[in-house]
A = this chain, B = another copy of it.
Amino acid sequence: MGESPEVAVSTVIFALRNEDPRSAEPPTLSLPLVFRTREPFDGRWALPGGPLGDETLQDAARRTLAATTGLEPAYLEQMYTFGDPGRSPDGRRVVSVVYWALVRADEVAHARPQQNVRWLAADDLPTLAFDHNLVVEYALWRLRNKVSYGRIAHALLGETFTLRELREVHEIVRQKRLDPANFRRQVEADGAVVPTSEMRTGGAHRPARLYRYNTEVEPVDLGPIAQPTRSDT
C-alpha cells in the first residue's frame, strides 16, 4: 500500500481586477498565486495552501489562505480533491482538497499586501507548481459551466451593480462580447437580477440604474453539509 499520504488544502480565489485601479480597461479574471522559494518547484507559482492541521478541511483552507494572501472570503466552497500518485515529484504522496471562492475587487484591495503573492490572469498562466494548472483549468470550467450568472455577478460585484458592470462580468467569464440591448432584454426576462430604486452616478458613465441579485429566485443552497462561514473556535 506504500506510505501514508499527506493531506493538504489549496484554494482557487477568483476576482475581477485591474492591475492599475485607475485604468479604464475592463478588469481581468485573476487569482492570487504564491511564489515558491524552495524545492520542489523552487521559482514557480503555486496556489495558496498548506498541510491540514487539527482543524476542519475548510478551516485549514481558510487559515492557509489568510496566512499567505491576507484574504478572508466570507464563503469558501469545497471544489474537488486531487490525489493522483506522482502529483509531487519528490516521492511524497499528497492528497489536496481544493476549496474555491469568488471575491469582490474591494475585498482584494482591503487584504494586507503579502510578500511573494501576485495576482495573475487566470487565462494566461505560466507553468505552475505541481498539477496546479489542471486545478485552475478545472476551476475555470466549473465557473463557466456550473455557476449561474446571477451567482457570479453577486459574488464578484457585490450587493448592487449596473447592467453595464453585469454585462462586463459576463463578457469576461464567457470570453466574448455581448450586445448591450440584447443583454438587457435577456436579463429583464430572466429575473435572476432585479432593479433597485438606486442609481449609480459619477464616474466615466451616465447615471445608471443599480440592480441586485434576486435571492428569491435562486437561493444559495448548500444542502445538509452547509457549514457556518467561519468556525466558532
At the interface, yes or no: A105 with Cβ under 8 Å from chain B? no
Is there an interface contact between B225 and A134, defined as CB atoms closer than 8 Å?
Answer: yes
Which of B7, B80, B83, B134 is A5 in contact with, Cβ under 8 Å?
B7
Residues of B with C-beta under 8 A to A137? 224
- Interface size grouping (class) on chain A: 20 to 34
Residues of B with C-beta under 8 A to A54? 1-2, 85
- Within A122-163, the residues touching B (CB, 8 Å) are 134, 137-138, 141-142, 145
At the interface, yes or no: A55 with Cβ under 8 Å from chain B? yes
- Chain A, residues 73-110, CB within 8 Å of chain B (1/0): the string is 00000101101110000000001010000000000000
Known A6-B4, A95-B52, A95-B97: A223·B145 in contact at CB below 8 Å: yes
Residues of B with C-beta under 8 A to A56? 83-85
Residues of B with C-beta under 8 A to A84? 56-57
Alpha-carbon gap, A52 to B1, bound state (A) = 8
At the interface, yes or no: A232 with Cβ under 8 Å from chain B? no
At the interface, yes or no: A53 with Cβ under 8 Å from chain B? yes
Query: Which residue of the partner chain B has the closest CB to A4?
Result: B4
At the interface, yes or no: A20 with Cβ under 8 Å from chain B? no
Residues of B with C-beta under 8 A to A85? 54-56
Alpha-carbon gap, A134 to B78, bound state (A) = 16
At the interface, yes or no: A195 with Cβ under 8 Å from chain B? no
Q: Which of A52, A78, A134, A142 has the most CB of B within 10 A?
A: A52
Is there an interface contact between B95 and A141, defined as CB atoms closer than 8 Å?
Answer: no
Alpha-carbon gap, A11 to B5, bound state (A) = 20
Residues of B with C-beta under 8 A to A179? none
